[in-house]
Amino acid sequence: MLATRLIESLSMSPDKVLFVADKFKKALVGGPSACGLKLIDSTFKKPSGHEQGEVLVLDFGGTNLRLLLVELKGNRDYRIVNQHVANLRQPHSGIDLTSESAGAEDLFDYIAGEVEHFIDAGRNYQLGQSFSFPTRQINSNSAILLEWTKEIKTRSAVGRDINGLLRDALQRRRITNVTVKAILNDAVGTLLAAAYKCGPADVGSICGTGHNSCYLDSSGRLINIESGNFFNAVLPVTKFDRLLDRSSINPGKQRLEKMVAGAYLGELFRLTMLDMAQDAPVSEGSKRLIEKLTTHSCIDAQDISLLLEQKTFAIGGAHYALSARELSAAEEIARSLVERSARLVTATYLGIIGFLDPHRQRRHVITIDGSLYEKMPGFAASIRNTLKDVCSQHIELHSGKDYSGIGAAVAAVMQE
Ligand code: BGC
């Protein structure tokens, strides 16, 4: 009974999707600050598709950092020559560069060290950075961090030029063969890569640890919406969303992102499960689980993927033997949270397209990068189905795996 009520509170009818879409469109019409949207001019325009060269890319997505060597072939094709992933949180050594105990210099010194290991000392590189946080874009090579999102708390970075911090750290390490050429938001990178690869792309989006979208405006500028910060009374907010927001690093901010993104789905699931467990009789096997559920942020999006894919309940690799009923209730809740996320994201896409083309006269291509879109069972299908439900014929969805990084390579070459 209780699970049914919870699930109902998470469901969104096609009409509700259209209602949210309309509010999102109105917020875009309203301009910067309407309902939290930032609408930042990225200073980038569409590439020609002929950009060519080998570029070192720093993809700063969140707690994970990727270094890529990307070859742009100049004919809309590319190849990832080499890559390396580093984690800014290393629990075994007690290092957490995303916490308040670390300063911006510590963070970028670590990044410069990773760059040094990744490159060959004997050759020169051009670097493009994809940076997945809200910035004020000064120009194509300079962006000031407005605030951290996704629970990152590193000190003394807000208000500073991110490529400047990187450049200084490279200098401290005496790395003289890397020239920092460009910085851009990951959603903007996704749209640049999509335009490089196949031309007619007008929306780029990230559905991963965080969420954001950007669009190509009628004058050819790429605008970073910072849609994760959207908030409006029309959003189907539950008491779990409010609880999560209150205990986050930035209460009142990134409210849409906190309802949809991978960084938060696990915590929403934990809060929902905990609430349900309090009223329902529980099996012996799940008592251990309930105890575990009292730990803040103990569940992540991968645990949810596993539950939906393999019907196993595990938290960070530790399995919990639930009764068949409990397992199916847990699965139902996870599925509903993923479905709500996909429907909300779809509503924003409809809002963007409605804003760009009110009479729906053109074909539109939305390119999406990010782990949620790529890996979460049911997420991508739900976006497609929701678009079908509301009859949006002119909208094509493309998967843009690795596109945020490819876009940073394109951006760096565009500066030559
Ligand atoms: C940030 C955006 C970013 C998105 C996806 C959000 O938390 O505010 O700038 O594009 O995450 O990574």
Q: 257 C-alpha vs ligand 1 centroid, how far in Å?
A: 8
- The minimum-distance atom of ligand 1 relative to the CA of 209 is 12
Task: Indicate whether residue 135 lines ligand 1 (CB < 6 A).
Answer: no
d(CA 261, CA 348): 14
Residue 217 has a pLDDT of 96
Q: 188 C-alpha vs ligand 1 centroid, how far in Å?
A: 10
- The minimum-distance atom of ligand 1 relative to the CA of 186 is 10
Residue 341 has a pLDDT of 98
Q: 20 C-alpha vs ligand 1 centroid, how far in Å?
A: 20
Question: Tens digits of per-residue pLDDT, 61-103?
Answer: 988 999 999 999 999 999 999 999 999 998 788 889 999 999 9
Give helix 301-310 / helix 262-279 axis angle, nearest 10°.
Answer: 70
Reduced to 3 states (helix: H, G, I; strand: E, B; else coil), residue 237 is coil
Question: Tens digits of per-residue pLDDT, 375-396?
Answer: 999 999 999 999 999 977 789 9
Residue 1 has pLDDT above 60, yes or no: no
Residue 262 has pLDDT above 70, yes or no: yes
Task: Indicate whether residue 230 lines ligand 1 (CB < 6 A).
Answer: no
Question: Tens digits of per-residue pLDDT, 216-256?
Answer: 999 999 999 999 999 999 999 999 999 999 999 999 999 99
Q: What percent of the chain has pLDDT over 90?
A: 84
Question: Mean pLDDT over all residues of the chain?
Answer: 94
d(CA 301, CA 376): 8
Query: Which helix or strand (DSSP H or E) is residue 328 part of?
Result: helix 324-356
Q: Return the best residue to mutate from 37, 40, 63, 132 for the ligand 1 pocket (most ligand atoms within 8 A of CB).
A: 132
Residue 270 has pLDDT above 80, yes or no: yes
Residue 2: what are its φ and ψ, rounded to 5°? -65, -45
Please name the amino acid found at residue 134: P
Q: 139 C-alpha vs ligand 1 centroid, how far in Å?
A: 19
Q: Return the best residue to mutate from 37, 59, 211 for the ligand 1 pocket (most ligand atoms within 8 A of CB).
A: 211
d(CA 227, CA 255): 10
Q: 31 C-alpha vs ligand 1 centroid, how far in Å?
A: 19
Nearest CA to ligand 1 atom 6: 210
Residue 280 has pLDDT above 70, yes or no: no
Tokens 């209150």: give the residue: 246
d(CA 281, CA 283): 7
Contacts of residue 137, defined as CB under 8 A and 6 or more positions apart, other chains included, come to: 40, 41, 42, 43, 143, 183, 184, 185, 224
d(CA 202, CA 208): 20
Task: Indicate whether residue 365 lines ligand 1 (CB < 6 A).
Answer: no
Residue 30 has a pLDDT of 94
Confidence of residue 285 (pLDDT cuts 50, 70, 90): low
d(CA 107, CA 154): 8
Nearest CA to ligand 1 atom 2: 133
Nearest alpha carbon to residue 178 among 284, 332, 69: 69
Instruction: Give the residue ranges of DSSP H helices in 186-296.
Output: 186-198, 239-246, 255-260, 262-279, 284-292
Task: Indicate whether residue 190 lines ligand 1 (CB < 6 A).
Answer: no
What pTM did the predictor assign? Answer: 0.96
Task: Indicate whether residue 226 lines ligand 1 (CB < 6 A).
Answer: yes
Task: Indicate whether residue 36 lines ligand 1 (CB < 6 A).
Answer: no
Nearest CA to ligand 1 atom 9: 133
Task: Indicate whether residue 206 lines ligand 1 (CB < 6 A).
Answer: yes
Burial class, 278, CB count within 10 angstroms (exposed 0-12 / middle 13-18 / buried 19+): exposed
d(CA 398, CA 195): 12
Secondary structure tally for the chain: helices H, strands E: 14, 17
Residue 4 has a pLDDT of 81
Task: Indicate whether residue 133 lines ligand 1 (CB < 6 A).
Answer: yes
Residue 46 has pLDDT above 80, yes or no: yes
The arithmetic mean of pLDDT across residues 172-186, rounded, is 98
